[in-house]
Amino acid sequence: MDVWYQCEIPYPNVAKDVLDRAPSVRGSLPNRYCDPKIAADLFEECIDEFLLCDDRGLNVVAIEHHAGINSLLAANPMLVAILARQTRKARILSLGTLITLRPDPVRVAEEYATADVISRGRLEIGFVKSGGSEMASSNMSAIDNGWRYWEAIDLISKALTSHDGPFSWEGQYFSHRHVNIWPRGYQQLPRMWSATGDASTSRDVGRRGMVHALVLRGPEGTKAAFAANRQARVDAGLPAQTTDNFAYAALVAVGETEEEGMRLGEKLLWFLNTSMKSAPQFGKFLPGGAPPEAAPMIYRSRRAPDTPTPAGMKPSIGGALIGTTPHQAKAQGILFAGTPDSVYKQIMDFYNFVGGFGHLVMIGRSGPMTHAETEKSINLFSREVLPRLKAIAPVQAGFNQ
């Protein structure tokens, strides 16, 4: 198993009363609350943490979010470029430029090819569908988001793999008459990932053979999405894949004692408990965010406590998780925290429950975690947990299902 370190580079420095008053801490919070000097310090610390990971045998992940306290990474290629130059061994996963929100996938392909060359072939490309406040921040609508997603991926893939001069693309969502990128990528085509949990997209990911990543989805949702992926390949007559095509992302905190690990885990939960607050126009009322048939369950102000999450909505990452305690998060499989032995056991319990995965994405810093705490957790993890995970070879996915 490979392990990938992720930090969203959050900005936890806005006063609580400001956050309490704001209808949303994403999308519409004025940037006067962001002190650029503090932001510079955060970038410096967090990039140093990525470099520490490189040194310790962890791979690294660069994400993208817009206009909120949850992340300062509005421009994914900027961090990818820094990591491409400053790391030496780590593979670098961009997870990723929000391609359904960018008007020009060819430019995205140029950015990726450049980073792949700078890193001498250490780039991996991940795609996320995005949603919520990201739509407003990027001047986009969520209508047809899924269709734009696949067309953008197809165009980026073709741009990265075409070497015989300009080609033309006149698709339903993107039109580019003259595609001919320089430099070409260092790899013929970097491995591609897709972060998604809904059944329909999971099946697409399975048929396409991308690495299927689930983010904070918990055991049941992850198991179901992986199963949909595998079944789609069976239905299409495609060969089975190994665990190397599956990934799970969770909050991970390691301490010398169980208490220390849980204390850090509680700080990581800031990501859910504080940075998720979002106004209804970015969530339940976002056109295209959920199918119209879900409206009875989400439009009314009073929702029955046992109402299931509507089809097409993300059940795990969202308002429903606000208020989660460390013990609840641990029980839900979204937080692996404690001593190295305990964390290893939690990961392996999850691994066995969902049918295996070859990549663990560890979200290792969030909220008020300090640089020192993060480095200590990374060091403990890489010294005492990573070797045991590295020893797990790929096997057929769903081996025990």
Where does this chain bind another protein (CB under 8 A)? 23, 136, 139, 141, 143-144, 279-281, 285-288, 292-296, 299-302
Q: Toward another protein, which CB reaches closer, 148 or 212? A: 148
Question: Closest separation between CB of residue 312 and another protein, Å?
Answer: 12
**Residue 380 and residue 340 in contact, taking contact as beta carbons nearer than 8 Å:** yes
Question: Closest separation between CB of residue 279 and another protein, Å?
Answer: 6
Q: Toward another protein, which CB reaches closer, 136 or 210? A: 136
Question: Closest separation between CB of residue 262 and another protein, Å?
Answer: 37
Among residues 389, 390, 371, 384, the alpha carbon closest in space to that of 51 is found at: 371
Question: Closest separation between CB of residue 173 and another protein, Å?
Answer: 12
Token pair belonging to 127? 């795609």
Q: Toward another protein, which CB reaches closer, 103 or 183? A: 103
Token pair belonging to 178? 């003259």
Q: Toward another protein, which CB reaches closer, 171 or 219? A: 171
Q: Toward another protein, which CB reaches closer, 162 or 281? A: 281
Q: Toward another protein, which CB reaches closer, 136 or 225? A: 136
Q: Toward another protein, which CB reaches closer, 164 or 170? A: 170
Pairwise CA distance, residues 46 & 212, whole Å: 26
Question: Closest separation between CB of residue 304 and another protein, Å?
Answer: 12
Question: Closest separation between CB of residue 12 and another protein, Å?
Answer: 24
Q: Toward another protein, which CB reaches closer, 285 or 399? A: 285
Instruction: HSE, CB side, 13 Å, CA atoms: give it for residue 392.
Output: 23
Could you tell me which residues are beta bridge partners of residue 246?
212
Question: Closest separation between CB of residue 320 and another protein, Å?
Answer: 19
Q: Toward another protein, which CB reaches closer, 61 or 142? A: 142
Question: Closest separation between CB of residue 201 and another protein, Å?
Answer: 19
Q: Toward another protein, which CB reaches closer, 112 or 150? A: 150
Question: Closest separation between CB of residue 136 and another protein, Å?
Answer: 5
**Residue 87 and residue 157 in contact, taking contact as beta carbons nearer than 8 Å:** no
Question: Closest separation between CB of residue 299 and another protein, Å?
Answer: 4
CA 17 to chain centre: 29
